[in-house]
Amino acid sequence: MEEIKVYKLENEFLKVELLNLGATIKKLEVKDKNGNFRNVVLGFDDIEKYKENPAYFGAVIGRTAGRIKNAELKIGDKVYSLDSNNNGNTLHGGKNSISHRFWTVERIENGLVFSIDSPHLDNGYPANVEIKVSYILNKNELEVRYFAKADSLTYLNLTNHSYFNLSGNPENTIYEDILKINSDYLVGIDENSIPSETIALDNNIFDFRKSKKLKDFFMATDIQKTIANEGIDHPFIFNEKIGRLEIENLESGIKMSVETDNPAVVIYTGNYLQDIGFKKHSAICFETQEVPNLYLNPSFIDENKAYERYTKFIFVQ
């Protein structure tokens, strides 16, 4: 029977603990303004809880079909029902997903490579896939690189699902954090969290093109905020080919930049963390990924086109 193992990476700037279950970031310690290390990601003290809890803190997940549900995925002359595919799908959420599977781990210079393939996934996906995710420490940044290949045409969209609390105290909310993101548009959602429309951010409470305290957002009202249980759970489309955002906690002095070659990021403000024993809005998640627009412009890979993406979490003082 496989067991959860903890793998460590560290240098003078960062300390990281990762699990072979879901290629999960369990802990990420960063120096604060006083030179003390603080853990800035939310997670469980008991690693066994990662097996049973559907929140999959810090795991790599596959955003099946860009979060589109109750629809059909057309690949060549075949049609797949996303409902039935998701129920048994091993790339998205649920007990059979890659976030709840054991990965093979290999050490490389300054990092770790996690890998998994379809025979170890009981794959319900339209193709057989091989996935590798590398975590590399480079001074004050943690770089995550995603690589995958398939044996036939399929849709793939990988991201990391870490929850950041830059104060280092899970009892604190993110209200005092300052967020900035270079994005003119987000994708609106309906009551079922299905992407529904593209929304311009001019005169909108979701506009973070200029640095803004998250408290200002939470004090405002908007139908999209109400739908997301009084928070953010929306894809922001980056304005540039290399997307960037910044978030800072003034109390700790820890500032994190996110850089990615993904075209979008789903920002989630922990709107349901209270359901699993944490405080609501006590952390924020940045799921860098494809724009969830499968219904408009699907992104496919096949045996002749490898999937490669990267995301960097960069910490500055």
Q: Name the nearest CA neighbour of 60 among 5, 135, 133, 165.
A: 133
Helix residue ranges, H only, 203-317 = 214-219, 223-227
> Catalytic annotation on 120?
no
Here the tokens at position 228 are: 């997301």
Q: Name the nearest CA neighbour of 176 among 218, 226, 207, 233.
A: 218
> Catalytic annotation on 161?
yes
Contact 181, 208 (CB under 8 A): yes
Candidates 17, 248, 287, 290; catalytic one: 287
Candidates 161, 246, 248, 281; catalytic one: 161
Residue type, 195: P
Contact 205, 220 (CB under 8 A): yes
Question: 180 pairs with which residues across the strands?
Answer: 246
Contact 200, 184 (CB under 8 A): yes
Q: Name the nearest CA neighbour of 252 among 169, 312, 175, 314.
A: 169
Here the tokens at position 114 are: 């996690």
If you search the block for the tokens 């969290």, which residue do you land on?
193
Measured CA to CA, the distance from residue 200 to residue 173 in angstroms comes to: 28
Which sequence positions are flagged as catalytic? Answer: 161, 287
